């Protein structure tokens, strides 16, 4: 039997590291081991790499280098922004209310849950059936004691994009801080922090072909925020701990490479998504596409099977796909072996049973048209073999 051809369609979960980025990671692991806080030449070499990497990342989002803090990834950056800003705001102005969208990543949801245990009041902004937040809903939920609003740029489960500029302008007019999670959008659509008018943005290296365990938080100049990690004075007192020079140099190169190819990548991803959508839609009865066709990330295609026709859960579909060599995801959290209906799909009004049959395909720069064709055919065959109700 010929070896199984493996097709990776889970780029929203993580991406393979770029070969040149890996070279940089290895090179600096071997050679640039000095502590960036040391005064000797080894330390100074690391300090130069640190500041050059910071500058490159800042430039890619139209920020100042001093507005970038390196973190261990997107989760830490979300935690730092929300918890750090909430604590500082409450201390400085007594504001105690936090508003988040109902479709946030768990890195934001669980922070909000934690903040609620710390005495903050949390409200959630509803979304429409495409997963989109509307400005009037935000306006209705704002209070005189609202400290921070958090609405993600692009959703990791269904790809829906949010009207960030409108929401940030509203927040600015009321002196409320605005945080947006840009983990899924960065490298696929432009992220210009000044144009978006945001106070905090979050970046993760492993979503853009960089190393894992490294990311960044953008903190607009002048915004007060507490640290989560206390110790040395690294990162201008925002995050203590010796900097991870090899990883952040790799991250910076991954950023450069992503920005350089973004227009072509965007076109390629769009082609993959359009093609797979058309193939699945034309062949599968009761297929539901999640998220709007417009105002959506080209890298993510989320589909569900109508519960009134099929009695199937994503886990089974994903195992079947994997047996045929296709790696995809449900997009929602798996707890103790059973897939919970996604909070995102439920917020979009999907019934729990249909939500439980969701598969997320996500595309990247290495995805080929042939892979899309093969994976679509495999998924169509798996679904046509399912017993119908
Ligand atoms: C929207 C979003 N935010 C945050 C994260 C967490 O990023 P990291 O894996 O770097 O901690 C992810 C990862 O899946 C994500 O998709």
CA distance 108 to 112: 6
The alpha helices in the chain, defined as continuous H runs, are 19-31, 41-60, 74-93, 106-117, 135-141, 164-173, 193-196, 245-283, 314-323, 343-347, 352-355, 369-384
Distance 120 CA to ligand 1 centre (A): 24
pLDDT in tens, 64-112: 999 999 999 999 999 999 999 999 999 999 999 999 999 999 999 999 9
**pLDDT less than 50: residues of the chain:** 335-336
For ligand 1, which residues put their CB under 6 angstroms from it? 73-75, 78, 105, 107, 152, 156, 181, 183-184, 204, 206, 215
Give the integer Cα–Cα distance in Å for 205 and 214: 6
pLDDT at 338: 57
Task: Report pLDDT for 220.
Answer: 98
Measured in degrees and rounded to the nearest 5, phi and psi for residue 361 equal: -100, 135
Residues annotated as part of the active site? 334
Residue 336: predicted pLDDT: 44
Q: Whose CA is nearest to atom 14 of ligand 1?
A: 13
Domain ranges of the chain: 7-15+261-384, 19-258
| Helical residues (DSSP H) of 284-329, grouped into ranges | 314-323
Check if 7-15+261-384 and 19-258 are the same fold: no
Q: In a mutational test of the pocket of ligand 1, which residue from 10, 73, 74 has the highest number of ligand atoms less than 8 Å from its CB?
A: 74
pLDDT at 352: 93
What's the 55 CA to ligand 1 centre distance in angstroms? 23
How is the chain split among helix, strand and coil, in percent rounded to 5?
45, 15, 40
Nearest atom (ligand 1) to Cα of 204: 10
Ligand 1, residues 204, 209, 212: which to mutate, most atoms within 8 A of Cβ?
204
Task: Quote the ligand 1 centre to 384 CA distance (angstroms).
Answer: 34
**Residues in Cβ contact with 42 at an 8 Å cutoff, skipping those fewer than 6 apart:** 33, 34, 35
Question: Measuring from atom 9 of ligand 1, which residue has the nearest CA?
Answer: 74
Is 3.90.1150.10 the CATH number for 7-15+261-384? yes
Answer CATH for 19-258 from 3.30.420.40, 1.10.10.10, 3.30.70.1350, 3.40.640.10: 3.40.640.10
- Going from the Cα of 169 to the center of ligand 1, the distance in angstroms, rounded, reads 25
Measured distance CA(268)–CA(257) in Å, rounded: 16
């Amino acid at each position: 039997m010929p070896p199984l051809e493996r097709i990776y369609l889970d780029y929203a979960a993580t991406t393979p590291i770029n070969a040149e980025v890996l070279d940089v990671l290895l090179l600096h692991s071997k050679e640039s081991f000095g502590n960036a806080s040391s005064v000797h030449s080894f330390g100074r070499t690391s300090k130069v790499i640190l500041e050059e990497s910071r500058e490159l990342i800042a430039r890619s989002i139209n920020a100042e280098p001093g507005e970038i803090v390196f973190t261990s990834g997107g989760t830490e950056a979300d935690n730092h922004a929300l918890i750090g800003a909430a604590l500082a705001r409450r201390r400085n102005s007594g504001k105690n209310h936090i508003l988040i969208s109902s479709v946030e990543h768990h890195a934001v949801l669980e922070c909000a849950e934690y903040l609620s245990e710390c005495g903050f009041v949390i409200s959630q902004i509803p979304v429409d059936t495409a997963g989109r937040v509307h400005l009037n809903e935000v306006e209705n939920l704002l209070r005189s004691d609202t400290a921070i609003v958090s609405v993600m740029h692009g959703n990791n489960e269904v790809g829906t994009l949010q009207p960030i500029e409108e929401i940030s302008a509203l927040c600015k007019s009321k002196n409320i801080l605005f945080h947006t999670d840009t983990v899924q959008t960065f490298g696929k659509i432009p992220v210009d922090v000044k144009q978006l008018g945001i106070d905090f943005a979050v970046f993760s290296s492993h979503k853009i072909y960089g190393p894992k365990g490294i990311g960044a938080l953008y903190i607009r100049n002048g915004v007060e925020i507490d640290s989560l990690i206390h110790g040395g004075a690294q990162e201008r007192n925002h995050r203590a701990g010796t900097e991870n020079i090899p990883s952040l140099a790799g991250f910076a190169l991954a950023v450069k490479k992503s920005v350089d190819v973004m227009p072509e990548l965007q076109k390629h991803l769009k082609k993959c998504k359009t093609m797979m959508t058309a193939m699945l839609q034309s062949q599968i009865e009761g297929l539901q596409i999640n998220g709007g066709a417009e105002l959506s990330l080209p890298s993510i295609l989320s589909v569900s099977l109508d519960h009134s026709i099929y009695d199937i859960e994503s886990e089974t579909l994903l195992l079947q796909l994997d047996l045929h060599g296709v790696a995809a995801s449900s997009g929602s959290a798996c707890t103790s072996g059973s897939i919970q209906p996604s909070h995102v799909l439920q917020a979009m009004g999907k019934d729990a049973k249909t939500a439980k049959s969701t598969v997320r395909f996500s595309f990247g720069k290495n995805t080929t048209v042939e892979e899309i064709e093969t994976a679509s055919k495999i998924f169509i065959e798996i679904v046509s073999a399912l017993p119908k109700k």
